[in-house]
Amino acid sequence: MPFSPLGLSSALCAAAHAAGFAAPTPVQQATIAAVLQGRDVLVRAQTGSGKTAAFALPLLQQVLPQQAARRAPRRVQALVLVPTRELAAQVGDVLKGLAAGLSPVPKISVVFGGVSINPQMMGLRGGTDIVVATPGRLLDLVDHNAIHLSELKTVVLDEADRLLDQGFSEELARIVALLPAQSQNLLCSATFGPQVSALAQTLLRDPVRVEVQDAPDTRPDIAQSAIAVDTRARTQLLRHLIQQYGWSRTLVFVATKYAAEIVADKLRKAGLDAEPLHGQLSQGKRSQVLDDFKASRISVVVATDLAARGIDVVELPVVVNYDLPRSADDYTHRIGRTGRAGQAGLAVSFVTADTEAHWRLIEKRQGLDVVLEAVEGFEPTEVAASPQALVDHSGNGGVKGKRPSKKDKLRAAAA
C-alpha cells in the first residue's frame, strides 16, 4: 500500500519514499490515518517499527496550512515531548529530513537541557511551528516566556514509559496543565505499565488504539545469547569476543556511570577504540561520541541506560549487556538498538553467578529460552551467595550493608 491513500500530500509522500519507506509500516498505516482524522491516538509499538515517522508525517501535514498563512510571529502548533537529549535530536532529525522538501519549510526547534538556554531562546525568536523538547527544558523556556503553548494543536508524548521512569511525573503534570483543552494528543510507548495507563486515561479522549505486534516475518532479526562468566572476567571476555569475531561496532550497556568510565578505560588500554557515554558528560561530548560511533571512528561505546532509547545507529551489529538491565522492558529497549531497518543483529548478555536468577526472570518475562553458554578459557568458578545468609532473623531489620537487596529477594523467590 502506498502512502497517498492515507491522506498525505504528494510532497510528504515523496519525502517518506526518500527517507527509505517504500510503503507504510503497520504502525504508520494505522497512526497516520487516525491523526489526520483528528483523533487522539494511543500507540504501542516496538523500537524500529517506524513509529517516529508515523507521527512526524501527519504533524507536518497539519502544520502546512498554518505555514501557508505566513502568520507572524509563528505560534507553536505541535509539541513532541521526549525523555532524553539523544531522542530529541533523533526525532528532530527525522522531522527536519521529512520537511526539507516542503514549501514553505516549517520551522522545527529542538530544545533540551545540559546546554546553555540562551542560544535556544535566540532560536525561538519569531516563533516556531514544531517543538521537540525534554520536559525540564520546555518548562524553563515557558518560564522565560520563550515558548507559549496556548495555541498548540497537537501534542505527542514519545517513549512515555521512559518519561515516567526517569522521574518526570511532576514536570509532566505541569505541562499537561498548560495544554489547551482541545489539543489532539498522541501517546507512544513500547511498554505499558500502570503509570503509562494512568497517564493515557488522563490525557487521551476516546483514543484510537494502535497496537502493533511483530509478525514473524517483520520481527527484528536479533540473535540472542547468554554467557556465564565470573564478575571479574567480564572485561577480558568482552575484549576477547570483540577481537575473535571482529565486531566492527559494539554498544555495551553497564549499570553505572563509574562502570562506563572504568570499562571504556580498560578497553582503550587493551588497544580498542572505546568511549564512555553517560549523563555526567557534557552535551558536546555526548554528541561527539555518538557522531564518532556512527562514523566508525570509534568501535566501542560503553553506555548507561541513557543510550537504551533515542540512538539509531545504522547497521549496529552487536549489543552487549555487560550488566543486566533492571527489568525485562529495559532489556527490550537495549537490544532494540541492533537489528534495525531489516538488518540482522546480535544481543549478548553476560550472566554472573549473582545475576543468574535475575536473568531467568528476564527470560521468563520475555518468553525466551536461551541456553546459558560458557566460553573456553572463561568458564565461571564463582558461586552465588545464599540469599538466606543475608537475612537477619533477629527482627531488627538486618545489619546495615547486609540487608537483602532486590536482587537477593529475586534469588530467594527463585530458589
CATH number of the domain to which 153 belongs: 3.40.50.300
**Domain contains 89:** yes
**Domain contains 248:** yes
**Domain extent at residue 318:** 221-373
Q: What is the pLDDT of residue 401?
A: 42
The average pLDDT across 273-277 equals: 95
Q: Are residues 96 and 201 in the same domain?
A: yes
Q: Is 103 helix (H, G, I), strand (E, B) or coil?
A: coil
Q: Are residues 202 and 333 in the same domain?
A: no
Q: What is the pLDDT of residue 405?
A: 54
Rg (CA), the chain: 23
Q: Are residues 207 and 226 in the same domain?
A: no
Residues 338-381: tens digit of each pLDDT? 876 667 889 999 999 999 999 999 999 888 889 999 999 999 99
* Helix (H) or strand (E) run with residue 244 in it: helix 234-245
Q: Which of 188, 211, 234 is the C-terminal boundary of a domain?
A: 211
Q: Are residues 320 and 179 in the same domain?
A: no
Q: Which of 177, 211, 245 is the C-terminal boundary of a domain?
A: 211
Q: Are residues 178 and 288 in the same domain?
A: no
b/e per residue 281-313 (b: at least 16 CB within 10 A): beeeebeebbeebbeeebbbbbbbbbbbbbbbb
**Domain contains 143:** yes
Q: How far apart are CA 133 and CA 157, in angstroms?
A: 10
Q: Are residues 274 and 205 in the same domain?
A: no
Q: Are residues 367 and 255 in the same domain?
A: yes
Question: Are the beta carbons of 166 and 112 closer than 8 angstroms?
Answer: no
Looking at 232-246, 268-282, 382-396, which range is the least confident one? 382-396
Q: What is the pLDDT of residue 69?
A: 53
Q: Are residues 88 and 182 in the same domain?
A: yes
- Residue 70 confidence class, pLDDT cut points 50, 70, 90: low
Looking at 106-115, 187-196, 230-239, 383-392, which range is the least confident one? 383-392
**Domain contains 81:** yes
- % of the chain at pLDDT higher than 90: 49
Q: What is the pLDDT of residue 398?
A: 39
Q: Are residues 185 and 52 in the same domain?
A: yes
Q: Are residues 255 and 313 in the same domain?
A: yes
Per-residue pLDDT at 82 exceeds 80? yes
Q: Are residues 26 and 161 in the same domain?
A: yes
Looking at 25-34, 244-253, 311-320, 385-394, which range is the least confident one? 385-394
Q: Are residues 189 and 262 in the same domain?
A: no
Q: Which residue has the cell 499537561?
A: 176
Residues 40-64: tens digit of each pLDDT? 999 987 666 788 999 999 999 998 7
Residues 109-162: tens digit of each pLDDT? 999 988 899 999 999 998 899 999 999 999 999 999 999 998 899 999 998 887
Number of domains forming the structure of the chain? 2
**Domain contains 408:** no
What's the mean pLDDT when you consider all of the chain? 85
- Residue 321 confidence class, pLDDT cut points 50, 70, 90: very high
The predicted model scores a pTM of: 0.68
**Domain contains 203:** yes
- Residue 220 confidence class, pLDDT cut points 50, 70, 90: low
**Domain contains 216:** no
**Domain contains 153:** yes
Q: What is the pLDDT of residue 213?
A: 64
Higher-confidence residue: 184 or 17? 184
Q: What is the pLDDT of residue 272?
A: 95
